[in-house]
């Protein structure tokens, strides 16, 4: 790889990490093409990383303790119980996750992109095509540039994946995630270490605190459920899409508010209803797996390669692990064929396994929810064990281990 010219399409989590990987593996020049402008740092929602996965990524040099976070240790699955302020706890589980603010996690990754890398904002790529000697990148604003290899870190609507596997698109899972970060109402919620999952017929909502840029805290929440049919049609969910803050229709906002008012214990309803509608995001949930992570001089990382439903809590972990795997594959290989084959071999199977497990979790927690209020703690734990069991006996909740043990 020494002396090569590499392009990374997408400069978000997977893109910044893949850039670091390419530089460490010896690329002479790395160009990052990122469609967005400065607004990436403004994404104020939460993202959580499992403690074990964090440790591996720290050892591999892709995350650092300087990235500000709140430590979570348990989560209480909660159901509405009349007027009881916090509702009724169905079960408590260990929840060893670091809760990050997306914006500050990204800024720290961006800061670690080595000087000398040509990171271009507002640089959208229209398409890529490869030949035996390299890859041509066509810019949406006009012009073409040549590189020896390209990493597609351009998310779920990847143009690099389109070049590798035309017509392969994310499949709508049948429900959406409403996502926001409201002001912290303080009061009865005991401490920062506790996450809550409020459950209701046909869905659930994960809630935990995150830090703000000024050291304060906000209540991060993601609520998963199917939208009513007439609203789903309007959204055209078969086309991969997401609605940025401020783009939710008043009908969607009203639906969300009515659902929360009806099913949530008063404390959690107040937290969520207090989030300004114009800062709420809607993300349809998709499944996507690929036949391979690499092909010729093209390869994929993060959501460009596989989109696992968020219930697995490991999409960002997977994006960072892809970069660590890319670094080792490229460092050890003596040519592009071997480098790409080693990367493909290591990641395709894990990506596919994560998508499958996330689908199982989504079925149980959204599509076929149990009669939550009737479950006692023992029944709840056995329900959880059943859905979280993987065919090879390893739990992938929080993401798979970086290296197979």
Ligand X SMILES: Cc1cc2nc3c(=O)[nH]c(=O)nc-3n(C[C@H](O)[C@H](O)[C@H](O)COP(=O)(O)OP(=O)(O)OC[C@H]3O[C@@H](n4cnc5c(N)ncnc54)[C@H](O)[C@@H]3O)c2cc1C
Q: Give me the residues that bind ligand X (CB under 6 A), please.
A: 9-15, 33-36, 40, 47-49, 124-125, 153-155, 159, 177, 179, 222, 283, 302-304, 310, 313-317, 319
Of residues 124 and 401, the one with the C-beta less far from ligand X = 124
Q: Which two tokens stand for residue 377?
A: 């703690």
Q: Which two tokens stand for residue 203?
A: 């869905």
- Please check whether residue 246 is in contact with residue 209, taking contact to mean a CB–CB distance below 8 angstroms: no
Q: Which two tokens stand for residue 33?
A: 């093409």
Question: To the nearest whole angstrom, how small is the minimum distance from the Cβ of residue 364 to ligand X?
Answer: 17
- Please check whether residue 217 is in contact with residue 322, taking contact to mean a CB–CB distance below 8 angstroms: no
Closest Cα to residue 107, out of 216, 211, 219? 211
DSSP secondary structure string, 155-171? Answer: GGG-HHHHHHSTT--PE
Length, in residues, of the chain: 405
Question: To the nearest whole angstrom, how small is the minimum distance from the Cβ of residue 148 to ligand X?
Answer: 19
Of residues 301 and 375, the one with the C-beta less far from ligand X = 301
> Alpha helix locations (H) across 186-236?
229-235
- Write phi, then psi, for 180 (nearest 5 degrees): -160, 175
Question: To the nearest whole angstrom, how small is the minimum distance from the Cβ of residue 346 to ligand X?
Answer: 17
Segment holding 269, helix H or strand E: helix 266-273
Question: To the nearest whole angstrom, how small is the minimum distance from the Cβ of residue 109 to ligand X?
Answer: 9
Of residues 346 and 375, the one with the C-beta less far from ligand X = 346
Question: To the nearest whole angstrom, how small is the minimum distance from the Cβ of residue 103 to ligand X?
Answer: 12
Of residues 52 and 333, the one with the C-beta less far from ligand X = 52
Question: To the nearest whole angstrom, how small is the minimum distance from the Cβ of residue 147 to ligand X?
Answer: 14
Q: Which two tokens stand for residue 11?
A: 């400069």
Of residues 143 and 335, the one with the C-beta less far from ligand X = 143
Sign of the torsion formed by the C-alpha atoms of 41, 43, 44 and 49: negative
Residue bearing tokens 């894990």? 350
Of residues 320 and 375, the one with the C-beta less far from ligand X = 320
């Amino acid at each position: 790889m020494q002396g090569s010219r590499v392009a990374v399409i997408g400069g978000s989590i997977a893109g910044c990490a893949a850039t670091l990987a390419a530089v460490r593996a010896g690329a002479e020049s790395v160009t990052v093409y990122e469609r967005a402008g400065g607004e990436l740092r403004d994404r104020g929602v939460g993202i959580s990383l499992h403690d074990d996965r964090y440790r591996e990524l720290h050892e591999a040099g892709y995350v650092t303790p300087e990235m500000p976070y709140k430590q979570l240790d348990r989560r209480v699955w909660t159901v509405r119980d009349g007027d009881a302020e916090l509702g009724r706890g169905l079960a408590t589980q260990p929840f060893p996750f670091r809760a990050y603010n997306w914006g500050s996690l990204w800024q720290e990754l961006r800061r670690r992109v080595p000087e000398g890398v040509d990171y271009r904002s507002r640089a959208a790529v229209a398409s890529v095509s490869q030949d035996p000697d390299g890859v041509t990148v066509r810019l949406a604003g006009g012009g073409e540039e040549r590189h020896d290899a390209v990493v597609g870190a351009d998310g779920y609507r990847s143009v690099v994946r389109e070049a590798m596997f035309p017509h392969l698109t994310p499949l709508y899972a049948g429900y959406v995630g409403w996502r926001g970060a409201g002001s912290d109402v303080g009061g009865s919620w005991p401490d920062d270490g506790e996450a809550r999952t409020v459950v209701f017929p046909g869905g659930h909502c994960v809630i935990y605190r995150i830090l703000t840029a000024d050291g304060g805290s906000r209540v991060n929440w993601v609520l998963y459920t199917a939208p009513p049919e007439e609203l789903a049609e309007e959204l055209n969910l078969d086309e991969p899409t997401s609605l940025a803050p401020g783009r939710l229709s008043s009908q969607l906002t009203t639906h969300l508010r009515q659902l929360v008012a009806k099913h949530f214990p008063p404390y959690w309803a107040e937290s969520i209803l207090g989030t300004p509608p114009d800062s709420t995001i809607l993300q349809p949930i998709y499944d996507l797996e690929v036949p391979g992570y690499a092909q010729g001089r093209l390869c994929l990382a993060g959501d460009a390669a596989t989109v696992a439903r968020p219930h697995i809590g490991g999409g960002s972990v997977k994006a960072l692990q892809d970069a660590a795997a890319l670094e080792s594959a490229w460092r050890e290989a003596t040519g592009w064929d071997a480098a790409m084959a080693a990367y493909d071999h290591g990641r395709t199977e894990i990506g596919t396994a994560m998508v499958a497990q996330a689908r199982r979790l989504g079925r149980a927690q959204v599509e076929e929810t149990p009669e939550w209020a009737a479950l006692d703690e023992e029944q709840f734990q056995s329900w959880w064990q059943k859905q979280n069991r993987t065919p090879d006996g390893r739990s992938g909740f929080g993401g798979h281990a970086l290296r197979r043990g």
